[in-house]
Every structure is written in C-alpha cells, then in structure tokens.
Homo-oligomer: A and B are copies of this chain.
C-alpha cells in the first residue's frame, strides 16, 4: 500500500505557475525535498519570482527545521521529475485533454503506491483519470490562492479512486501543514469555491443593478462578515450569535427570512431533515463548550485580527 504519510520526504511538483510555484514554496517551507517540473526553461524567471515572494511570507510565518531552498531541484522532463517522488502535486494548466494525457503518462511512470494530487479548481477527477492506467491513487488536492498562505486543501477522489488514497491524502496534507477538507461528493467548484461563487455572483448582480460598486462590495466584506468568518466560519457564527438556543433558534426564528429577497439565490426548503443536520452539525462542533465561552473566544480572535490588520497597514 501507500507509504506512511509521516514518512514522506520527497515531493514532486508538476507546473511552475502561481499554483505550482506556490506549492513548491509551501513544501520547501515544511522541510520537504522538492523536484519541480517546468514545461519550458523560459518559465524559470517567473517561477523564481513566485518562489522568492512566497518564501518571504513563509519565513514570517515560521519555517520547519529542515526547510531550505537548497532542497529544490528544477527539471524539464516529466520522467525525471517523478524519480524518487513519494507524493506528486500536479498543477498543470486547466485543460482537460492536457491533464488526461498527463495522467496517462504519470499513471505508467509513477509507482502505484505514490498518491497523485491535482490542484485543479474546475475539473473533476473522474474526468481527469479517464485514461490513467492506475487511477486508484489519483485525487483532487485543491488549494486556495495564494496556495503558500491559505491553509485549505479540498480533497476528493474520482469514480475510480480508492477511498484509501483519499484518506491518505487527508493525513498527508495535515502533516504537511495544511487544513484538509475531505469532501463528501465530487461536485463542481468543490465546497469553498461554491460558497465564494454564490457571494461573487450576488456581488455582480448588485453592480449590474447599480446597487453597489466594486469598492462598496469590498468595504462591506472587509468590515462586516469577513473578520467574523475568519474566526468562526458561517455556521458557527450563527450558532454562537443565537446564544443558548444556537442554530436551532437561528433556523426557527430566522427560517422565514430564507424566503425574503435578501439575495437572488433561492434557499432550499427548510425541511426537518435539513434543520436537524444543521443543528446536529453545529452541536457536534461546539461539543461541551458553552456559547458564552465561544462568543468570548470569537471576540478575542476578532480583536486579534483587527489589531493585526491595523498594525500591518501602519507598519
């Protein structure tokens, strides 16, 4: 089977654009040996710029003990890039035919016990792995831009993926310092982009209708939902804001507001099943913490974020 996730030392990063370059920087900062494949020697200057930019922030955040830019090897041949690789992060262009051909090649030259993660944000693994002879170990490992800073990695397999590879990827990315999200289903846009896209399309509607400017949209987000969303997400933000009653109170009290024209997106029917899933899910996350402790933690974190931003903008 697969190598133990905590024994991985050598990662191959396919692609030198903003995503591939960001991944290379991240893995180097976490102490891995990294081999980066560039399609064309002409890409090297842009790649180095991405790497150096990322390295500055990663150094600020704190490097792992083994971290060194000297652990990077750059090659221009895919076969050479994967020699000795114990994990492969693929960040090739978002072109299905190109990815299918690449996975056909990788499927043959990479030992079957090495997991391959794709950075794709718009394609499905079931499609990408179509021509791969060893699709069991291919998964989506989708980062958020900039990939060297934002912790999220969304993980999901395709139809032919072995669930063990998905589980392995979750453990590996976690050890590698990321925040993995094991998705329940293969859906377009995955989870984070779907949430962001709903907000984005509502923003476009508002601009189209003269209700707000792009500047208004950003002022609203930066000073309103975002400083809370970064500390609590959205479900727990509502759960904690409703005090003792939590998400149950939120849905019972504000459920009718789901019918109001507060966005162009029509809400799903608030069935008993959906209500229970929301309530049970929030109660599980809360565990035995009292809402007042969670509210106090929220406030401490919002204060910390606002102060950090203020100092960063002055400094």
Contact = CB atoms under 8 A, between A and B. Distances in A.
A144 B219 CA distance: 13
B191 A299 contact: no
Copies of this protein in the complex: 2
A252 to B, nearest CB: 14
B263 A299 contact: no
B262 A188 contact: yes
A301 B312 contact: yes
A152 B233 contact: no
Interface in A174-205: 179, 181, 183-185, 187-189, 191-205
Listed residue (A202, A213, A267, A308) with the most chain B CB atoms within 10 angstroms of its CB: A202
A44 interface: no
Nearest to A238: B200
Contact of A195 (B220, B274, B295, B306): B220
Contact of A217 (B152, B188, B195): B195
Interface stretch (A4-12, A34-42, A111-119, A253-261): A253-261
A151 interface: yes
Contacts of A206: 187, 191, 194
Interface stretch (A73-81, A129-137, A158-166, A223-231): A223-231
Contacts of A184: 210-213, 216
A284 interface: yes
Interface string A304-315: 111111011100
A236 interface: yes
Q: Which 10 pairs show the lowest CB-CB distances between chains A and B?
A: A218-B233, A214-B281, A189-B262, A308-B308, A198-B202, A152-B224, A152-B223, A214-B235, A192-B224, A179-B223
30 contacts: A144-B224, A150-B227, A151-B223, A181-B220, A181-B223, A184-B212, A188-B261, A192-B224, A195-B220, A196-B199, A196-B224, A197-B263, A198-B199, A198-B263, A200-B234, A200-B238, A203-B234, A204-B270, A208-B273, A215-B281, A218-B232, A221-B229, A222-B229, A222-B230, A229-B230, A230-B309, A231-B309, A264-B265, A301-B308, A304-B308
